[in-house]
Amino acid sequence: MSEACIVKQSSCKLDQFSDTTQSFDQLNKNNIVLIVKENLSKFIITEDELIGFKSEKIQNGLYKGEKDSQGERSGIGQILYEDGSEYIGYWENDKYNGKGRKISKNGDCYEGEFLNGNFHGQGVMRYFDGGVYIGEWYDGTQSGVGEESWPDGAKFKGSYLNGKKHGKGEFLWQDQSKYCGEFVNNKIEGFGVYLWVDGRVYKGDWKEDKMNGYGEFKWPNGRQYKGNYVMDVKEGYGEFLWADGKIYKGHWKDGKQHGVGKMIYPDGKLRVVEWKFGKALN
Strands 210-218 vs 224-230: parallel, antiparallel or unpaired? antiparallel
In angstroms, how far is CA 264 from the centroid of its own chain? Answer: 47
User: Would you give per-residue pLDDT tens digits along the chain (282 residues)?
Assistant: 333 332 223 333 334 333 434 566 656 578 899 899 999 998 999 989 999 899 999 888 999 999 999 999 999 999 999 999 999 999 999 999 999 999 999 999 999 999 999 999 999 999 999 999 999 999 999 999 999 999 999 999 999 999 999 999 999 999 999 999 999 999 999 999 999 999 999 999 999 999 999 999 999 999 999 999 999 999 999 999 999 999 999 999 999 999 999 999 999 999 999 999 989 898
Q: What is the pLDDT of residue 12?
A: 35
Phi/psi of residue 101, each to 5°?
A: -130, 125
Note every long-range contact of 119-126, with CB atoms under 8 Å and residues 24 or more positions apart, other chains counting. none
Distance CA 264, CA 150 (A): 48
Amino acid identity for residue 247 in this structure: I
Q: What is the pLDDT of residue 278?
A: 86
Under DSSP, is residue 126 helix (H, G, I), strand (E, B) or coil? strand
Largest Cα separation within the chain, whole Å, is 98
The structural domains of the chain, with segments of one domain joined by +, span 1-109
Closest CA to 12 of 3, 22, 1, 2: 22
Angle at 55 between CA 46 and CA 51, to 5 degrees: 35
What pTM was computed for the model? 0.85
Angle at 270 between CA 267 and CA 275, to 5 degrees: 125
Q: What is the pLDDT of residue 26?
A: 54
